[in-house]
Chains A and B, each alone.
Chain A
Amino acid sequence: MKKRSNRGFSLVCCLLLLLLLCAGVTGFLSSTGLHRSAARQSLAKSVARSAAESAAAQAASLLAEKIAAAPDSATGWQRIRTPGTEDFYFEGTVLHLHPQASGAGPLVLPLVSRPDSSGDLLEEIPSSSGVQCLGMEPWTSANSVNLNRPLFRGDQQGWIGSPETSVQRPHPFRARWIELRSPQGAPPPPISARYAFWMEDESFRLHLNRIQRMPDDGTATTFKPPTMERGPEPHSPGIGPEEIPMLGLLAGMRSIRPTDRGPLAVELLTLRNAFPSGTIPEIRSFNYARSGRDQVLVGDGLRFLGTLSSSALNLSRHGTQRVNLNAALGLEEKEMDWTLYAPPTAVLQRQHRRLVETIRFHAPRFGQRFYRTTSDPDRESVTSAHQEVYLNKIAANIQDLIDPDLQPTLVDSAGHIVPPGRPEAPLNADAPDGHWAQGKDSTPCLQEAVVRLRSEASNSRYKLRVDYYLEFWNPTDRDIYVCVQPSLNEPHSVGPETFVKVSNQPAWISTPSGTPLRSTRPGGQAPVQSPARDIVIDLCSGVYAQGKPVPGGVCFRAGHATVITTDPDYLKPPEQKKLSPGFSGGYNLENIYFCSKLLKGTREYEGPIGPRGTAGIKPDFRDNTEDYDTEVLLGNLRGLLDSHPAAVAMGGGARVTRPGQSRDDWYGGSLLGNGITPSQTGDPRTNNEALRYTRFLPGASTTQPDQGRYFNTVSAPRFSLGHPNDTHTNPHLQHPWPDPYKGWNRTSTGTAKNPRIAPARVANGWTGADGRFRTGIPSIGLLGDVFDPARKSGTRGSLGIEGSRGGGRTLRIGQPDDLVRGSEPRAASREWAAWRMVDFFATRSQIELPGVLNLNGISRDNGFALRALCHGLSLNLEAQASRALEPTTGLRPLATQLPLDHAGPGLHRIIRDAIELLGSRGPYTGCFRERGEWSELPAFAADSETLFEGTRTSIVFDHAREELFRRTVELLTTRGNVFTVYCVGQAIVPPKSPTASIQILAEHWLKTTFALLPMKADGSPFGFATEDFNPDSPESVARRFTAPDYYDIRSLARSEP
């Protein structure tokens, strides 16, 4: 039997053992591989996330650093292509840096990731062409990425959102990849990751939780229902973005039928109010509006246009916090009893100086507006003394515009506020105690004066009676009384014991040797100012109107001329005819008050007549040679209300020398709106101008300059006291002023006199719709109502000074300033533009202003946001004073309101103008640097008809023509402080060859919204809640006007789609 071999058994055993070993090893290897794979995946994910986080952090820190270094930077919206690329370009937010110290040109910094050749981020891009802004080679699909990716299938908007006009859905917003190299590996280390970011200023968008938001302070009655457009004041005073109507938002959405907008606006507001605190948590919440009519998801349509987090900082271009005017003047917007407003002089002094120092810090050459002696607008020609005077005048005018009393602020020649007290003498340019400023308050202004001299001789004595007709104009929209009226709760009383004082009455000669009443000769000598020649007229008691006593005293009716007379015969027809014979019906008796009581002096004089008629009595007005500073003063126990120091009386006169002789002479004069010589323009240190007397002589020659100017119709006396057509200014004032300040009328024909071109003061507190009286100003645009004492060099006189009543108009805030040469970006004159003041003054102290709109984003959405902001605004062409004037002028009224329709041509032109301005190479170079530059829009120019179709802006009352600015300026900014950065990070394996493709291991998307908050070096928040700095301490001023030391980055929202 053949024995079988067993050797195979061992082999099988060995194989089995090896198999088992292999299985074990395979298990280990598999486990290890899985571990490695999981670890790699996790690592790649972490790398991608880190890259995205790095992008967000880098974007935020870059922005914070740049803005801290350049506080006057602004953001704009720009599209930049590199050469040779059509489909790949940058479009988005750019930061315009304006280095102040170096004087270099503006730098443009696109807020997007962009490497230069060294791999570092570009720091500054000195280019306005845009091409260099993106750095290196053209953008391609390989080196850039579209960050506006759809969030879900069918998403037409994308992560960022898409403009309505875009043909690509979603609209591409691209950013450059920044490649990151691995920390390990042989040099050069391999690229292991990359990121990209794209950043946007949220203030380009409409804040959906702010628009048409009911106020929380119980004043909801001031807001109209959501279905209605905004109305005239006080419904929309221009306080904040809460006034933007929801209808304005919907009106710009083409996908919504016009008929659906009203109901939908109601639904949206109702929907929003249903959410906690009345705020929607996401833009898409608006999708729940029952918009089934159009099947439109409103929320999704607003992804590009709306935001839930936007704000701007209340900082000036210097980076300092704007000075809250209301706080600086102790008049935070609050309820108060205006009759108790009487701060101590020291307090007023400090408040006044705060304003002066604020202007001086931010615009050191602002005083170059005053008394200019050169026609070159960019040349400095004003002395430091005049500059100082100007700052004080402006500060006084601001104080008087805002404070609730009607008492003008008086600043002496040392810059000190004059303490309250009964004034003894008007301001006088020649007096040693001349004043720097008399503020323009809402007081009646003297604009025409007539003196009547009746003389008669009997036996050897003469009798002389002197009477006055003094016409005051109330340029405000409130009736002004001399006594407080219990039924009125707004400032309406000019104060206690109001009186009119006429000092230095015209002298007369009674004997060859003269009398103590005779004046000295003019020619620079000081006026006599003899108290014996002064009279003081009581306006409070002994007052009659149309023959009946007026117990309450004189009332200066709003917008009307009111005449104060001491002549008891003023009602007699002959006198009426003499006063205004050219007008049927004589003067307006309703507004003439006979004031019978003299507090001082007398109207009647008596004295001997010289022998043989060698002496008699006559007013000593020798033709054009005598200059008696007859001065008129309106005052009360607290001080001056109005003052005219140079009421010049000129002209000869006959005498009564024999018994039985009598004369009745009338001399009159009007506001000297424009001087022929500097000495006749009034005291440049005050807001006053000269008041020139001219004797009326029937048939007088027109060659006399005074008569030619004032009474050019010589066939009849043309006084016009109180005449209905003379409600605001002398209708005979026909001088064609070359003065760009225009005054109240610049027509050369003298035919088109329109009361609406006159200035007005309207602040001094106001009563809201709730009936409560408040102080402070709600909108900084109201600074446009401040009288501007600026005077411009001209061709006349030794100094070439031209001027008029306090400059004749208000500050040009809300319309182009003629002192500015607009075409030069860095023109010196732009430093003393009037609109600069709204950059460093504000009406509130909060450091963040939520919901305001960035004007520079107008090309981003083709004006959508601005249209919404302006939607429904009705421009009140007859604002304030002119409204009061209208019933008596009888002139054809302009349209009482001009609604700015969303799609209307007026608003369309404004937006077109703005886009063109921003695209030009003018002073803007892509962005407005400060909100005041909004004033320079061509639509606001005097020769424009954009705002008021068919009506030139030049004939529209200042307050009305600047109304759009005033009602929008608080809602506008030029740079926000809330930004959203869209980031993507990728962990990658770079291609092995040029033809190979990149391998993406992991990807992470991140969107963060953050705010830049100004901080102090010690880590505390930057900001000044009160304006209590000491203006006389340089250290205190310096502390107040510091810029933030740095900006803290506060994250507001974050999401990872």
Chain B
Amino acid sequence: MNLLPAGFTLVETLVAVVLTLVLAGLMTRTVSDASALWRLHSARLDTFSEARAALQKISRDLASAQAFPEATRDMAVLCIRPHPQKAADAPPGLEFTLLAQTPASGQSDIRAVGYFCAWDSTLNGPVLRRQTAPAAATAEALRNLRPEEAHFFPWNLLPRDAPSEVLAQFAWDLRVQTPGPTGAPEPAGGLSFNRELPRWIEIRFKAVSPSALNSVGAFPQNALAWQTGPLGWGGSPLQRLLLRHTREFATRIPLVP
């Protein structure tokens, strides 16, 4: 009598191996998808956090916008203009510059602040940037402001080649709306608000998750392609996947009229 336990038959072994492979395959796919989703969500979260932080910063600057209602001559306190680099290497959109009052330990609180979307060659994508002029420089410029420069102030204080900070990566299509004559929002471009500010200002921009873009790996590498945004990329399902990770961020900030 053979007391040794019977081994697996070949069939059993094969079935087990097949089942194991099937299960492993299934699990691998699931885990892989989960991992991808996790990465995407994290990136999206990062993006949203970044964008939200950018919005908060914009809101704070705008809420502290400085008007000159008692000035006797016009002087721009908020400039909204098409971004000058748009045709060459940046996505379409506007830029706006304003005078904001932000408490600091120096001698002055008022500084020129500008926001714009520009092409970032390192990132190979568009970014939302914030540019500030030092309070001392702003005060100096204010004191020496010539009448012919008044309508471009504080835009003149913020040269494009001056340092700026990135607020949000892969952010583009910065748009601004202000109340029109009827109070309804109207796109603002080429506007310069003198002495007084509009009653409110609405800021919009689009942003997409950088991680998602990296996952896709095939996003446009040039500015012109971004001019129409991901919708215009057409292409692969993965690129269409990016649409799910593209958001438009907007806020309306009441200003001093």
**B64 and A281 contact, CB distance less than 8 A:** no
Contact B70 A1055 (CB under 8 A): no
Cα–Cα distance between A3 and B56 once the two chains are bound (Å): 70
Q: Decide: B143 and A271 in contact? CB cutoff 8 A.
A: yes
A1055 vs B103: C-alpha distance in the bound complex, in angstroms? 9
Neighbour of A299 across the interface among B4, B107, B142, CB < 8 A = B107
B34-58 residues with Cβ-Cβ distance < 8 A to A are 34-35, 37-38, 41-42, 45, 48-49, 52, 56
**Which residues of B have CB within 8 Å of A17?**
23-24, 27
* CB pair A276 B142 closer than 8 Å: yes
- The interface bits of chain A over 197-218 (1 if a CB of B lies within 8 angstroms of the residue's CB, else 0) are 0000000000001000000100
CB of A645 to closest CB in B, whole Å: 56
A1025 within 8 Å of B (CB atoms) = no
Give me 21 A-to-B residue pairs in the complex whose CB atoms sit less than 8 angstroms apart, sorted by A's number. A6-B8, A13-B23, A21-B30, A21-B31, A27-B34, A28-B38, A31-B38, A35-B45, A42-B52, A275-B142, A276-B75, A279-B71, A281-B66, A282-B66, A285-B110, A288-B108, A850-B70, A1051-B256, A1051-B257, A1054-B65, A1057-B102
Task: List residues of A whose CB falls within 8 A of some B CB.
Answer: 3, 6, 10, 13, 17, 20-21, 23-24, 27-28, 30-31, 34-35, 38, 42, 45, 151-155, 209, 216, 271, 274-279, 281-282, 284-285, 287-288, 297, 299, 308-309, 850, 1006, 1050-1057
Distance, CA A45 to CA B49, complexed state (A): 13
Q: Does B234 contact A (CB under 8 A)?
A: no
CA–CA, A303 to B71, complex, Å? 21
**How does the 8 Å CB contact mask read for B75-88 relative to A, with 1 for contact and 0 for none?**
10000000000000
Roughly how many angstroms separate A288 CA and B68 CA in the complex, as a whole number? 19
The verdict on B145 contacting chain A, using a C-beta distance below 8 Å, is yes
Contact string against A for B residues 136-178, beta-carbon threshold 8 Å, 1 for contact and 0 otherwise: 0001001111000010000000000000000000000000000
Find out whether the CB atom of A276 lies under 8 angstroms from the CB atom of B35.
Answer: no
Q: Please report the C-alpha to C-alpha distance between residue A361 and residue B144 in the assembled complex, in whole angstroms.
A: 53
CB distance from B110 to the nearest CB of A (A): 5
Q: Are A277 and B73 in contact (CB under 8 A)?
A: yes
Residue of A whose beta carbon sits closest to that of B64? A1055
B251 to chain A, nearest CB (A): 11
Contacts of B145 in A (CB 8 A): 275-276
Please give the distance in Å from B171's CB to the nearest CB on chain A: 18
| With contact pairs A10-B16, A1053-B256 given, residues A276 and B71 touching in the complex (Cβ less than 8 Å) | yes
B38 near A27 (CB under 8 angstroms)? yes
Q: What separation, in Å, do the CA atoms of A971 and B109 have in the docked complex?
A: 30
List residues of chain B with CB within 8 A of the CB of A1054: 63-65, 254-256
Known: A153-B105, A1057-B103. A34 touches B69 (CB 8 A): no
Q: Which of B's residues lie within 8 Å of A, judged by CB?
A: 4-5, 7-8, 16, 20, 23-24, 27-28, 30-31, 34-35, 37-38, 41-42, 45, 48-49, 52, 56, 60, 63-73, 75, 99, 101-105, 107-110, 139, 142-145, 150, 254-257
Rounded to whole Å, the gap between the CB of B45 and the closest CB of chain A is: 6
On whether the beta carbons of B150 and A282 are closer than 8 Å, the reply is: no
Contacts of A271 in B (CB 8 A): 143
Question: What residues on A are CB-neighbors of B144 within 8 Å?
Answer: 274
- Please tell me if the beta carbons of A288 and B107 are within 8 angstroms of each other in the complex: yes
The answer to whether A154 and B68 have CB atoms under 8 Å apart is no
Are the CB atoms of A279 and B8 closer together than 8 Å?
no
Is the pair A277, B45 in contact by a Cβ cutoff of 8 Å?
no
Cβ-defined partner of A287 (8 Å) among B30, B60, B102, B107: B107
Name the residue on A nearest B138 (C-beta). A281
- Please name all residues of chain B whose beta carbon is closer than 8 Å to the beta carbon of A1052 when the two chains form the complex: 67, 69, 256
Query: B31: which of A13, A23, A274, A281 is its contact (CB, 8 Å)?
Result: A23
Among all A-B residue pairs, the 8 with the closest Cβ atoms: A277-B71, A24-B34, A27-B38, A287-B107, A152-B105, A151-B103, A274-B143, A1055-B64
Question: Which residues of chain A come closer than 8 Å to B20, judged between CB atoms?
Answer: 10, 13
Q: Are B49 and A38 in contact (CB under 8 A)?
A: yes
CA distance A279 to B142 in the complex (A): 10
Given contact pairs A23-B34, A38-B49, A277-B68, a sample of 11 additional A-B residue pairs in the complex whose CB atoms are under 8 Å apart? A17-B23, A20-B27, A31-B45, A34-B42, A38-B45, A276-B73, A276-B75, A282-B110, A287-B108, A1052-B69, A1054-B254
For B5, list chain A residues within 8 Å (CB): 3
Q: Which residues of B are found within 8 Å of A35, using beta-carbon distances?
A: 41, 45
Question: Assuming A35-B45, A1051-B257, is B66 touching A3 (CB within 8 A)?
Answer: no
Decide: B48 and A1053 in contact? CB cutoff 8 A: no
Q: What's the Cα separation between A284 and B135 when bound, in Å?
A: 11
B257 to chain A, nearest CB (A): 6
Nearest chain B residue, comparing its CB with the CB of A297: B107
B37, B73, B99, B108 pick with most chain A CB within 10 angstroms: B108
Q: Is the CB of B105 within 8 A of A155?
A: yes
**How far apart are the CA atoms of A947 and B176 in the complex, in Å?**
61
From known contacts A1053-B256, A1057-B103, infer whether A277 and B38 are also in contact, taking CB-CB under 8 Å.
no
Checking A45, A216, A282, A308 against B109 with a beta-carbon cut-off of 8 angstroms, the contacting residue is: A282
Compute how far the CA of A1056 lies from the CA of B59 in the bound complex, rounded to whole angstroms. Answer: 10
B105 touches A1056 (CB 8 A): no
- Are B27 and A277 in touch, CB under 8 angstroms? no
Nearest chain-A residue to B135 (Cβ)? A284
Which residues of the partner chain B approach A308 to less than 8 Å between Cβ atoms?
70
Which A residues touch B63, using CB under 8 A? 1006, 1054-1056
Min CB–CB distance B100 → chain A (angstroms): 8
Residues of B near A20 (CB, < 8 A) are: 27-28, 30-31
Min CB–CB distance A56 → chain B (angstroms): 11
Residue of B45, B70, B254 near A279 (CB, 8 A) is B70
Q: How far is the CA of A27 from the CA of B109 in the complex (A)?
A: 45
Q: Compute how far the CA of A279 lies from the CA of B67 in the bound complex, rounded to whole angstroms.
A: 12
Q: How far is the CB of B157 from chain A (nearest CB, A)?
A: 13
Chain A residues near B52 (CB-CB < 8 A): 38, 42
Min CB distance B186 to A, Å, is 21
Contact A285 B108 (CB under 8 A): yes
Q: Chain B residues near A278: list those with CB within 8 A.
A: 72
Residue of A nearest to B195 (CB): A277
Residue of A nearest to B61 (CB): A1056
Known: A3-B7, A285-B108, A287-B107. A1056 touches B60 (CB 8 A): yes
Whose C-beta in chain A lies nearest to the C-beta of B144? A274
A-side contacts of B41, CB under 8 Å: 31, 35
Contact (Cβ within 8 A) B34 A284:
no
Shortest Cβ distance from residue B60 to the other chain A in the assembled complex, whole angstroms: 5
B residues near A1006, Cβ cutoff 8 Å: 63
The answer to whether A284 and B108 have CB atoms under 8 Å apart is yes
In the complex, what distance in Å separates the CA atom of A1006 from the CA atom of B48?
25
- The smallest C-beta distance from A297 to any residue of chain B, in angstroms, reads 7
B48/A277 in contact, CB under 8 A: no
Give the most central of B7, B49, B70, B255: most A CB within 10 Å: B70
Neighbouring A residues of B7 by C-beta, 8 Å = 3
CB distance from A991 to the nearest CB of B (A): 28
A284:B68 contact, CB within 8 angstroms: no
Query: B139–A285 contact, CB under 8 A?
Result: yes
Expressed in whole angstroms, the Cα–Cα distance for A274 and B139 within the complex equals: 10
Known A-B contacts A34-B42, A154-B105; the reply to A277 vs B70 at CB < 8 A is: yes
A34 and B45 in contact, given A153-B105, A277-B75 (Cβ under 8 angstroms): yes
A3 touches B48 (CB 8 A): no
Which A-chain residue is minimally distant from B196 (CB atoms)? A1052
Please measure, in the bound complex, the distance between the C-alpha atom of A1053 and the C-alpha atom of B66, giving whole angstroms.
Answer: 7
CB distance from B136 to the nearest CB of A (A): 8
Contacting residues, chain A, for B66 (C-beta < 8 A): 281-282, 1053
Q: Are B110 and A281 in contact (CB under 8 A)?
A: yes
Q: Which residue of B lies closest to A42 (CB)?
A: B52
A1052 to B69, CA, bound (A): 8
In the assembly, what is the distance between CA of A30 and CA of B45, in Å? 12
What residues of A have a CB within 8 angstroms of the CB of B45 in the complex? 31, 34-35, 38
Q: Which residue of B lies closest to A1010 (CB)?
A: B256
Q: Would you call B143 and A275 a contact (CB within 8 A)?
A: yes
**A1056 CB, min distance to chain B CBs, angstroms:** 5
The residue from B27, B107, B257 contacting A284, defined by CB atoms under 8 A apart: B107
Bound together, the chains give a CA A1053 to CA B255 distance in angstroms of 8
